[in-house]
Amino acid sequence: MKPFEYAAPANEQEAVALMNESSPAESVLLAGGTDLMNLLRRELIPVKRVVDLKHVPSLKTIERDGAGVRIGALATLEQLASDPLLAPYGSLFDVIREIRAIQIQSNGTLGGDLCHLPNCWYFRNGHGLLGLQDGKSLVAAGDNRYHAILGHHGLAKFVSASRLAPGLISWGARIRLLGPEREEETLLPLEAFYRIPKSEQDGISILRPGQFVSHVWLPDPEERESASYEVIEGAGLDYPTAAASVCLKRQGSLVQEASIVLGAVAPIPWNASRAAESLTGHPITEQTASDAADIALAGAVPLSNNAYKIRQARTAVKRALLRAAGLWEEGVGV
Amino acid sequence: MVDLKVGWNKPEENSLIGTAMLRIDGYEKATGAAKYASDANTAGTLYAKVLTCPHGLAKLASIKVQDAEKVPGVEAVHLFANVGDELKWEGALVAAVAATRPEYADDGLRALQAMFEPLEHFVDEADLDGAVKANRTKDNGEKTKGDLAAAFAAAKVVHEGEYGVSTITHMCLEPHGSHCEWTKDGNLVANLSTQNVSGTAGQFAGPLEIEASKVSIICNYIGGGFGSKFAADEWGVAAARMAKQTGKPVRLMLDRATEMKIGGNRPSAFAKIKVGADADGKIIAWESHHWGTDGLTGNTVPIKDLPYVFQPENVQHKATGIITNCGPKRAWRAPNHPQLCALTDTAMDDIARKLGKNSYDVFLANLSQTPRQDVYRAEMEIAARMIDWKAKWHPHGKGGANNGVVRGVGMALHTWPGVAVAASCKVKVNPDGSVESFAGSQDIGTGTRTVIATVLAETFGVEIADVRVHIGNNSYPYSNPSGGSTTVGSVSGANRRAGIAALGQLFDKVAEKYKIDGSKLSAKKKTIWLGDKAVCSWKEATALLGIKPLEVQGESPADDGLTSSGVGGVQMADVSVDTETGKIRVNQLVAVQDCGLVICLETAKSQVYGALIMGIAYALSEERIMDNTTGRFINADLQNYKLPRIGDIGELMVEMYRPESETSRGVIGLGEPPVISTGAAISNAVCNALGVRVSQLPMIPKRVLDALEGARA
């Protein structure tokens, strides 16, 4: 680990100022630190300054805000799971439960999850975000069993590492960003936050140097039902190889409105809007869920080594829909 | 002069041997009181870290030693390679830096600014055709027995399949390494994580050009070895050199990634197999070509042992080694056997599938081709009862599905020698009645201390708590390394022999004092008995020693029936497979294992539990993944090199098979055999569930779904 400066702001304004004081591109935020420490130890990101947010109280709160709930980026996963305001958002719990490690649940934060850099082993072994060598993709030529099956036509072939983003996007979450200018504040749909990088400098989101995530806003749940299903290889701490979060509004048994967002299949959380639309006017059954899953994956193209992920992703979509509708028998899947 | 006969009691006469004693050092291990090599931390200890080659093959182009030496906190820089040297695999050692803090050691490594000139490497172990094209193969031999063509022609069924087992690493939780410190009079004290306490001093002494008598090796506890920790290793010697150079103690434990890259691995094995069997499934013809890699030496598992355990009359086999720029192999728990078993017993099960027969019956039909068929038959019966094979077995792939989840059972069997080897000990009976044993042995999970204490307490009729066991120091009598499942047999034999000899000498004293026939005495319940009449207490007897403790040297091995060799073992698995995600869950795993006389039932079973978990790991999740472009081991971390967690393990059921016919054979090693069958048994259970063979271990979800897809196509 290389030496770095440490800054501990007391409020949001100070955080923006300290992030932008000098070389914002080499300033990083410390939230829960569950992944930052790995990145620092392996020297995977250039860091001159670490700005520790744990003394900024406004970033930790979960409170009502207009017709919804506002969640601070520093709220821990455990906080999310135990706050009554969030109880109706079932898809988030399905994910937090599957994170399994108490250490990550109690230290890991919402903002940290949303900004989590890819787990791609080429990136983690120092070959850069895109995993290139001499301009060519190591991922495409190498072992891509855990890589993208959607949205990988450009250079980026990693999969989005955020576990919570699919659920939040399916709920129509918005995200609040601060900086890089003093007083600058941006509010946008969470889906628009992510982008598929075309170059190493692009990053996984639209965040500019010195800008950071402060809050997430979720609309009132009304009568919506939601669920997530993650396919994880083992029973312990691990990342999913395919995941889906769904949110349904039903009139009687018929779907009025649906949203399906996949995780771990593309460089961004993958919104399967056509699959979701196909459910409108239909009940959720094994068949309709299965058909929607087929539509969601219709455009999937495997890399050399990961065709199996298409099937896993289909399963995730199908089971998330069945689970949201109360039709998935828990404990049956392996 | 009493000359007691050397032997074991009849099992029913034992009060300790064969019972479920708890480990005498369990408390220390569970609480952290036990000190490992990596815990050694004497005043002023320097932290050493290593720089390794980041390429599959590269020349060291430049390195700035002086720059590193100038880094604050850095006290020593050691070079493993010089400019111009070829580094032949990723992870090959380049340099080590010792500093007052670990961060300074990192700074030092960075300051070295090592530059490499990458050269063309080859790391693809699975692709035989690719290896042939790249000229990276080595003939590992070919053998023929019987008349293969005639046998295939006569066969009722012929099956051809491809099978494989990936390379895995040892993944010792405590990595390789040591804490080295020099005393003022020029002696080296090495706290070394080793399974070879008595045999390592010379490995330090040679390169350091000192006498072996000046090297103390200490290893009170070890956090895993599995066959990979027999040597001082170049990094151990480097730690000693840096300690000498700086005059300060140096601790050099490999980091996790380097541990995985150079700390040892188990070679891969892939095979094309053609089997012919009669109507009962008895194999009458076997033809195979297998390949794999152990690194640059280009060897795969030995040809002579395939097919494994079963010896059909007509065999033709061929082996090809693949020469790769991968870290070199080391012995891994039952070297070669797990791979051989995974290749053989899965092909055997595919015969059952093809014939539509119960796998149990097909294994049964082949037992006559094994060396110990009665043992296997009996163990199969027990295992089948334990797992309820009759109720659970169904024709392959015909068990029905619940929400895409199918279930199945499978079995496999194995063998291992486990012979006792050289081991000495000194048994000391103190005048106050306390007992000690000294041996330059080690405990790599065998429960060495508990075994020795049990043997001596039984021999002297005292309690376990009366015995103190000293191991883990090369100043104690010589013991062979713990490898080949030899430790329990060796130390129990040596201590029993010494104990019986000591008891004879003590009986002489008692006979003299009480004017009775010493040859009719026995020691039980802390009392010396003449027939059923108490003569004196144990302490009264030992008090007769006066001021001089009784010391007797014990030796192993000896041809006196205390130990022997050759075990079997049968395992059965019950699994569920989710055909929509490819995930496998082990519901139950049954192991029935013989090992002659069991000294301590708990530690014996514990060996089997550990082996089963290790088996689940290589069956379902762990493998080394090499990147062909960069030549790097890309999952050399505990996140992507996947080991089972509690939830992956399922219910483990262990039965030690110990009828009189087995216990009368004496003690036989147990550490390795129970890890052998697990991969094949789980693979066969998966095949029974799916009706499709997942041809390569580990059976990660990808391979399960690919196999299903392949069967559909």
HEC sequence for B445-507: CCCHHHHHHHHHHHHHCCCHHHEEEECCECCCCEECCCCCCCHHHHHHHHHHHHHHHHHHHHH
B667 forms bridges with which residues in the sheet? B563, B596
pLDDT given at position A35? 96
pLDDT given at position B2? 86
Q: Is A334 on the interface with B (CB under 8 A)?
A: yes
- CB pairs below 8 Å between A and B: how many? 110
**If you average pLDDT over every residue of chain A, what do you get?**
97
Q: Is B43 on the interface with A (CB under 8 A)?
A: no
Our CA-based measurement puts residue B415 at a distance from the nearest CA of chain A, in whole angstroms, of 30
Q: Is B577 on the interface with A (CB under 8 A)?
A: yes
In chain B, whose CA is at the least distance from the CA of A229?
A: B581
Three-state secondary-structure class, residue A296: helix
Whether B709 shows a pLDDT value over 80: the answer reads: yes
pLDDT given at position B610? 97
Q: Nearest-CA neighbor of B389 among B676, B688, B609?
A: B688
Using one digit for the tens of pLDDT, what is the confidence trace for B363-386? 999 999 999 999 999 999 999 999
Cβ–Cβ under 8 Å, residues B449 and B471:
yes
Residue bearing tokens 């068990």: B399
Q: Is A236 on the interface with B (CB under 8 A)?
A: yes
CA distances to A171, B41, B80, B113, B240 from B177, in Å: 52, 13, 16, 25, 11
Whether A334 shows a pLDDT value over 90: the answer reads: no
Rounded Cα distance, A304 and A286, in Å: 30
Judged by CB atoms closer than 8 Å, whether chains meet at B625 and A143 is answered as yes
Whether B517 shows a pLDDT value over 90: the answer reads: yes
Whether B103 shows a pLDDT value over 80: the answer reads: yes
CA distances to A74, A127, A138, B490, B635 from A134, in Å: 39, 11, 9, 57, 22
pLDDT given at position B448? 97
Give percent of chain B with pLDDT exceeding 70: 100
Give me the residue from A142, A143, A308 closest to B701, CB to CB.
A308
Cβ–Cβ under 8 Å, residues A92 and A62:
no
Rounded Cα distance, B507 and B501, in Å: 10
Ordered alpha helix ranges (H), B21-127: 26-31, 65-69, 102-111
CA distances to A86, B271, B286, B582 from B161, in Å: 53, 8, 12, 21
Q: Is B373 on the interface with A (CB under 8 A)?
A: no
Using one digit for the tens of pLDDT, what is the confidence trace for B33-50? 999 999 999 999 999 999
pLDDT given at position A331? 80
Tokens representing B224 are: 């895993």
Chain A contact probe: residue of B626, B627, B651 with most A CBs at under 10 A:
B627
Q: Is B639 on the interface with A (CB under 8 A)?
A: yes
B668-693 in b/e form (b: 16+ CB < 10 A) is: bbbbbbbbbbbbbbbbbbbbbbbbbb
Using one digit for the tens of pLDDT, what is the confidence trace for B285-297? 999 999 999 999 9
Judged by CB atoms closer than 8 Å, whether chains meet at B709 and A311 is answered as yes
Q: Is B583 on the interface with A (CB under 8 A)?
A: yes
Tokens representing B404 are: 């895409």
Using one digit for the tens of pLDDT, what is the confidence trace for A208-221? 999 999 999 999 99
Using 50, 70 and 90 to split pLDDT, how confident is the model at A1?
confident
Judged by CB atoms closer than 8 Å, whether chains meet at A231 and B635 is answered as no
Our CA-based measurement puts residue B585 at a distance from the nearest CA of chain A, in whole angstroms, of 6
Judged by CB atoms closer than 8 Å, whether chains meet at A138 and B629 is answered as yes
Judged by CB atoms closer than 8 Å, whether chains meet at A333 and B110 is answered as no
Q: Nearest-CA neighbor of B313 among B284, B280, B351, B291?
A: B284
pLDDT given at position A106? 97
Tokens representing B131 are: 């290896």
Average pLDDT, stretch B141-145? 94
Give me the residue from A2, A121, A311 closest to B635, CB to CB.
A121
Cβ–Cβ under 8 Å, residues A51 and A194:
no
Rounded Cα distance, A334 and B705, in Å: 14
Chain A contact probe: residue of B116, B629, B692, B703 with most A CBs at under 10 A:
B629
Judged by CB atoms closer than 8 Å, whether chains meet at B583 and A138 is answered as no
Q: Is A1 on the interface with B (CB under 8 A)?
A: yes
Rounded Cα distance, A102 and B666, in Å: 47
Q: Which residues contact B623 (CB under 8 A, 6 or more apart)?
A: B166, B167, B168, B635, B641, B697, B698, B700
Give me the residue from A143, A306, A315 closest to B627, CB to CB.
A143
pLDDT given at position B297? 94
Our CA-based measurement puts residue A234 at a distance from the nearest CA of chain B, in whole angstroms, of 6
Using 50, 70 and 90 to split pLDDT, how confident is the model at B670?
very high
Whether A332 shows a pLDDT value over 90: the answer reads: no
Cis before residue B395, ω within 30 degrees of 0? no
Rounded Cα distance, A313 and A333, in Å: 14
Q: Which residues contact A137 (CB under 8 A, 6 or more apart)?
A: A130, A131, A155, A157
Give percent of chain B with pLDDT exceeding 90: 98
Cβ–Cβ under 8 Å, residues B172 and B260:
no
* CB atoms inside a 10 Å sphere around CB B587: 17
**If you average pLDDT over every residue of chain B, what do you get?**
97
Q: What angle, 0 to 180 degrees and rounded to 10, lies between the N-to-C axes of helices A308-324 and B701-712?
A: 100
Contacts of B621 in chain A (CB under 8 A): 233-234
Contacts of A1 in chain B (CB under 8 A): 103, 106
In chain A, whose CA is at the least distance from the CA of B700?
A: A233
Cβ–Cβ under 8 Å, residues A71 and A147:
no
Tokens representing A261 are: 């967002």
Q: What are phi and psi of B143, to 5 degrees?
A: -145, 145
pLDDT given at position B647? 93
Ordered alpha helix ranges (H), B532-588: 538-543
Our CA-based measurement puts residue B392 at a distance from the nearest CA of chain A, in whole angstroms, of 18
Query: What is the reported pTM?
Result: 0.97
Cβ–Cβ under 8 Å, residues A147 and A307:
no
Cis before residue A166, ω within 30 degrees of 0? no
Q: Is A121 on the interface with B (CB under 8 A)?
A: yes
Using one digit for the tens of pLDDT, what is the confidence trace for A239-279? 999 999 999 999 999 999 999 999 999 999 999 999 999 99
Judged by CB atoms closer than 8 Å, whether chains meet at A138 and B627 is answered as yes
Q: Which residues contact B148 (CB under 8 A, 6 or more apart)?
A: B285, B287, B314, B315, B316
Whether A333 shows a pLDDT value over 80: the answer reads: no
ipTM of the complex: 0.97
Q: Nearest-CA neighbor of B336 among B685, B690, B706, B673?
A: B673
